[in-house]
Amino acid sequence: MITNQNPTPDTNLTDGMHVVVDALKKNGIDTIYGVVGIPVTDLARHAQEEGIRYIGFRHEQSAGYAAAATGFLTKKPGILLTVSAPGFLNGLTALANATTNGFPMIQISGSSDRAIIDLQQGDYEELDQMNIAKPFAKASYRINRPEDIATGLARAIRAAVSGRPGGVYLDLTTALLASVIDKDVADKTLFAPIDPSPASIPSPASIDRALKLLAGAKTPLVILGKGAAYAQADDAIKELIEKTGVPYIPMSMAKGLLPDDHPQCAASARGFVLENADVVVLLGARLNWLLSHGKGKHWNPNVQFVQLDIDAMEFDSNRPIAAPVAGDIVSSVDALLAGLATTPFKATDEWTKAVNDAKIPNDEKMKVKLSNTDMPMDFFSALNAVKGVMDNHKDVYLVNEGANTLDDTRNVINLYQPRHRLDCGTWGVMGVGMGFAIGAAITSGKSVVAIEGDSAFGFDGMEIETICRFKLPVTVVILNNGGIYNDAHIDLSGHGDPSPTTLMPNAHYEKMIEGFGGTPYYATTPAELSKALEAGIASKKPTLICVEINPQCGTESGHIGNLNPKVISNK
Ligand code: ADP
Ligand code: MG
């Protein structure tokens, strides 16, 4: 039994920490990710004691990304636990990222003495956390009284998973954690919210409007987004796509919702279908920067949109939406399928052929890139080796971050199962890799391969200790091209400094995992890389493969160089 600073000689008394754990258990929370310290250390200990898994990290941001991965994969909020002020702030980036991406998670942080914080009298780790979290979270609450713990957690869970999911902040004061309450009274407060994410049924008129627009389309296209992957409407979405014959492209985290080698997948004709589609169905995807806001040279200027989204505020955000369908994806896709009986639509043979023809030259170009035998390897020859292995392990989770490493992996490595790819997402954030890999491994119990740029890995590389400590089946593949993007590695400083984008091209990142008992590999050829990756996956043990990539290959900012402002050189 864990004791706290309040002696509780009366066995019928309990304290805030115990009630928090009881409330988490009551809500089926089985895992907490975090970094402990004042005032939450005993909370984590007691959670473990009560059968909740506690996954301790080296940095709160990574723990938060792991919690977000759990949220995306399960539709239940992942839980991040942090200490006050700096620990809270370290976790906040992950919370904001979850909110931006629509992943449900709850960051629970201990906080210092309210009276001292409010008068700014200088407490240990003083910070007004609840208010600071507000702009970064979907909701932000503080619990002050032990009798409110169950209600506070219920509010946080509902906020995280209902409507568009997101990150929620829950502030637990030190006084609350240490507060004493009669156990019988506390037990009576415990409850789990009924139906925390209620179905949101689309209006029949909106379904009718969407089907009529599609029935008149000559060149329809579906874009699958991570909202569709999140919704777990896999069979219904497959049925809708296959019944209508419409070509589709998956956004990166929707890859695998239908297998990437599906005949209707138009990913390799992306440019052609965007330029030519007259009606585009946005199925849990936003018209944000990742789709050039639905505007400009990539798009048919006369395109009309059907958009399926849980959040009606999303409609018209970038382009007017001709047929908005507000509802959850499960309900909306079911309604569309039912409506096909009276208002059918089908892609014409002419459109299907045009899309298939457009894929051929691009598939050919890709084959040429993949068969490059130059040494050192470039991204494509390395990824060709990875692809050969991954195609034999279709249930492996893929985590991916970097610039060129992200863009090229997305295009080369096929996914075959829904929700098996986690990446930089809506923000294009770096440093998600180890957190996502740990979250996916803990949540699924399956093997994970993380394909990392050397720069991206640097943000959270210390978490390989976490991977080794928990003996997780994670293989980290670092494509080391010696820096951020590519570089001629010229000294512009005049006194021998590396260039701003230069990192160490001959680094041996695999030595890091050796120090923690994991398995190291260094690969300079596709054959070495295939062999190491196959062995890493088969071992189900922590593995790190450092892959030597030509530092001259890759492009600045990967595929989004247009977003990177450039100075005009006056030298
Ligand atoms: P992508 O980056 O893959 O395009 P986005 O994150 O931009 O995906 O868009 C996902 C969209 O899906 C968001 O607008 C979100 O509101 C919506 N969404 C998330 N979950 C659901 C759901 N269960 N039902 C309907 N829409 C959802
Ligand atoms: Mg790099």
Angle between helices 404-412 and 349-370 (to 10 degrees): 120
Give the nearest ligand 1 atom to 227 CA: 12
The ligand 1 atom at the shortest distance from the C-alpha of residue 231 is 23
pLDDT at 435 over 60: yes
329 CA from centroid of ligand 1 (Å): 9
Q: What is the pLDDT of residues 3-38, one digit of tens each?
A: 455 555 567 999 999 999 999 999 999 999 999 999
Distance 441 CA to ligand 2 centre (A): 25
- Residue 555, pLDDT score: 78
Candidate from 103, 162, 164 with most ligand 1 atoms within 8 A of CB, to mutate: 164
Give me ligand 2 centre to Cα 501, in Å.
9
Residue 570 scores a pLDDT above 80: no
H or E segment and range at residue 33:
strand 31-34
Residue 373: Cβ-neighbour burial (10 angstroms; 0-12, 13-18, 19+): exposed
At residue 363, does pLDDT exceed 60? Answer: yes
User: For a substitution probing ligand 1, which of 292, 311, 330, 432 has the most ligand atoms within 8 Å of its CB?
Assistant: 311
90, HSE (Cβ side, Cα atoms, 13 Å): 21
Ligand nearest to the CA of 231: 1
pLDDT band at 569 (very low <50, low <70, confident <90, very high): low
What does the block give as tokens for 131? 């208010």
Residue 393: the pLDDT is 98
- Between the CA of residue 312 and those of 53, 134, 211, 328, 547, what are the distances in Å? 37, 22, 18, 11, 45
Closest-approaching ligand to the CA atom of 423: 1
Name residues contacting ligand 1 (CB within 6 A): 101-102, 164, 225-227, 230-231, 251, 253-254, 284-286, 288, 290, 309-311, 314, 328-329, 426
Q: Could you report the per-residue pLDDT of 540-564, keeping only the tens digit for each?
A: 999 999 999 998 887 777 777 778 7
Report the atom number in ligand 1 closest to the C-alpha of 250.
3
- Please give the pLDDT value at position 292: 96
Confidence grade of residue 319 (pLDDT, cut at 50, 70, 90)? very high
- Long-range contacts of the stretch 122-128 (C-beta < 8 A, 24+): 124/38, 124/84, 125/38, 125/83, 125/84, 125/85, 125/86, 125/87, 126/85, 127/84, 127/85, 127/88, 127/89
Q: 3-state DSSP call for residue 297?
A: coil
Q: Choose one of 292, 329, 422 to mutate for the ligand 1 pocket test, by most ligand atoms within 8 angstroms of C-beta.
A: 329
Torsion of CA 321, 323, 326, 327, to 10 degrees: -130
Residue from 226, 253, 321 whose mutation best tests the ligand 1 pocket (most atoms within 8 A of CB): 226
pLDDT of 122 > 90? The answer is yes
**Mean pLDDT to the nearest integer, 454-460:** 97
Q: What is the pLDDT of residue 1?
A: 41
Q: What pLDDT does residue 9 have?
A: 57
Task: Enumerate domains of the chain plus CATH numbers.
Answer: 13-189 (3.40.50.970), 204-357 (3.40.50.1220), 371-563 (3.40.50.970)
**Which one has a higher pLDDT value, 567 or 373?**
373
- Check: pTM over 0.75? Answer yes or no: yes
**Residues within 5 Å of ion ligand 2, judged at the Cβ atom:** 453-455, 481
In this prediction, residues 180-195 reach a mean pLDDT of 98
pLDDT digits (tens, 9 = 90+) for 335-360: 999 999 999 999 999 999 999 999 99
CA torsion, points 159, 460, 406, 473, in degrees to nearest 10?
A: -90
Percent with pLDDT over 70 in the chain: 97
* C-alpha separations of 95 from 61, 100, 148, 298, 408 in Å: 9, 9, 23, 33, 27
If you write DSSP's letter for every residue of 211-246 in order, what string do you get? HHHHHT-SSEEEEE-HHHHHHT-HHHHHHHHHHHT-
* Average pLDDT across the chain, whole number: 95
**Residue nearest (by alpha carbon) to ligand 1 atom 5:** 285
pLDDT tens track for 485-526: 776 677 888 889 998 889 998 999 999 999 999 999 999 999
Centroid of ligand 2 to alpha carbon of 548 (angstroms): 10
